[in-house]
Chain A
Amino acid sequence: MPAAPTPGSRLRLTALLAPPLLWLTLAYLGSLAVLLLSAFWATDSFTSDVVRTWNTDNFHELLTTPVYRTIALRTLSIAAAVTVVDALLALPMAFFMARVAGRGWRRPLLVAVLTPLWAGYLVKAYAWRVMLGENGVVGAALAPFGLHGPGYGTTAVVIVLAYLWLPYMILPVYAALERLPERMLEASADLGAGTWRTLRSVVLPAVRPAVLAGSVFTFSLSLGDYLTVQIVGGKTQLLGNVIASQVTLDLPMAAALSAVPVVLIVCYLAAVRRAGALDSL
């Protein structure tokens, strides 16, 4: 049991927490607030200077222009697809690492999963650009089967983003599976359950919160990405690209646009919280 705080220790605690709290409220949340505020301003269409007159035109345009809806939906589906692909890849991989592979294998496998995180984002994305190109490795590997590579476009974006964020999904799932008590699997076997039944009724419920936690990473990172799209997206346009192209010309409109992913993430977090994935936080 901790000792009751003395005035001195309370002072120390305040001094310790003040800088991060100040950072969180002023620099972090404060800048977000300013961003949202600027969405209610206007832009001089010729000089691109921000004109500080209060109006809701930007949001009105955002909601009534069909092209923004299309782009938002496309961004949302790509983020969802990346999350599903990563979950499907991470589950067997993490299961193998945590429960099947011998002790001596665990560490090298974990290192192998983490290694790509050391390489630069751009390097990896450009490597995929080369591989997915007209004369790239992917096309060459598929050619014997009479198939074509996906080329540049939405499929390529999903592939590359799923590749980039995969470690963020594997790690929480691996941690959850490693903590899963051996006894539960034994009990399931003793009760006559086969491998599939055990997987479905014991393993999956146990890792569900971990998958959801991983999905927060894959989903939100995909939602905000715009570099991968620029590199392998071909002519695809996502929310991030539209924001990037507007930032210099029409900051208020860009701010209004960037409210869209913020709203989507908040909705997603609320849904994930309902599912119980954030309880352990």
Chain B
Amino acid sequence: MRKRKMSAWRSAAAICALLLTAAGCGSGNDDDKGGHAPDKLGKGEGKVNIIAWAGYAEDGSNDPKVDWVHPFEKKTGCQVNTKTAGTSDEMVSLMKTGQYDTVSASGDATLRLIASGDAAPVNTKLVPNYRDIFPALKQQPFNSKDGRMYGIPHGRGANLLMYRTDKVTSAPDSWRAVFDDAARYDGHVTAYDSPIYIADAALYLMQAKPSLGIKNPYALDQKQLDAAVALLKKQHKAVGEYWSDYQKEITAFKGGDSVIGTTWQVIANLTKAEKAPVKAVLPKEGATGWSDTWMVSAKAEHPNCAYKWLDWIVSPKVNAQVAEYFGEAPSNRKACAETSAPDHCAIFHADDEKYFQRVHFWTTPIKQCLDGRKDADCTDYAQWTRAWTEVKG
């Protein structure tokens, strides 16, 4: 009895100490937000909680042949708990809970995670495979800040234009097909259901309306945003449905409910595999795209296992497996030798920097214009979100 009382006192004291420390931290300056990268790694904690896009952390439950989670668990002793997120917004809110150690964030989420202090900088020296990542993916505006990397690049891809070859007979080579010419496919146009899709309209306007002066589709001032919104509202009339779930897009193209619209390479592959006559192209204007980065939570409970996962997921063999399963360009240059299809890297333009120069990777729009303009205020993601509600009406 006496002993229990003692321990109760002790835990009370511990709680007080914790609160005091927390209060102390709270008054510290904002630069500490987001925590520090570790200098060296310790032993694995036996567990790692990850947030991933569907297809990024396969454990064989979808397809027994596709499994890179169990080998990881066997090798490191870190049990993997995967939470699959459907959208970038979902990833951001899941990371805020502090229950996850690492996340495969796209560029429209990374800056938000960095700014809110939910993601910690990553010590790339502790990730040996980092040295083989394509140089063009390192230190990019969407995965680093002040010269510090906030994650390990995982893979990249473009948002392509897909169409049904039996319904769209004149092969389109421009985004004009889903914007100014959308009425031709009235009720059968599809678009990605996210505020970030506004950038697709802005990208088209860069060439269709040069007078607007758009230099970067993620840096829009109010006037430029209004023009993009007007274009999207016009497109809305011809849209049959918006998609955010890739399964939904596959069934829509397969059944003919959608005949033209944005897609990812993986969706095009899966739709073709289901015998639907579709084709995906990178239009002449270029495209928006995504480059995913494995980030570590600032509140990670299992940082050692998280670093082990980071190194594992971009290791040549696993990076190749993920890239092939998901349908994207791997980030590790050595992965190209490990793919089961010898031309995988060629198909996905993995080392084709000319190709990716035409791809504008998702970046969170912020007040400070990303294109370097000093004389203008840009619109931020909150404004984009409201504009997107407006577009859908």
Contacts and interface: CB of A to CB of B under 8 A. Distances in A.
Interface string A70-109: 1100000000000000000000000000000000000000
A246 B388 CA distance: 11
Q: Which of A46, A65, A133, A237 has the most CB of B within 10 A?
A: A46
Contacts of A242: 389
Contacts of A245: 89, 385, 388-389
Nearest to B94: A248
Contact of B382 (A71, A134, A249): A249
Given A47-B116, A48-B116, A249 B385 contact: yes
A46 B92 contact: no
A130 B252 CA distance: 10
B44 interface: no
A17 interface: no
A49 to B, nearest CB: 5
Contacts of B28: none
B240 A235 contact: yes
B367 A46 contact: yes
A133 B90 CA distance: 28
Nearest to A132: B257
Interface of A: 43-49, 65, 67, 70-71, 129-130, 133-136, 151-152, 231, 233-235, 237, 242, 245-250
Interface size class of B (residues with CB under 8 A): 20 to 34
A88 B138 CA distance: 63
A67 B255 contact: no
Interface string B356-393: 00000000101100000000000011110110111011
Q: Which of A71, A242, A248, A250 has the most CB of B within 10 A?
A: A248
A48 B92 contact: yes
B115 A47 contact: yes
A136 B255 contact: yes
Contacts of A249: 89, 92, 381-382, 385
A48 B255 contact: no
Contacts of B240: 151-152, 234-235
A248 B187 CA distance: 30
Nearest to B237: A235
Nearest to A133: B255
B185 interface: no
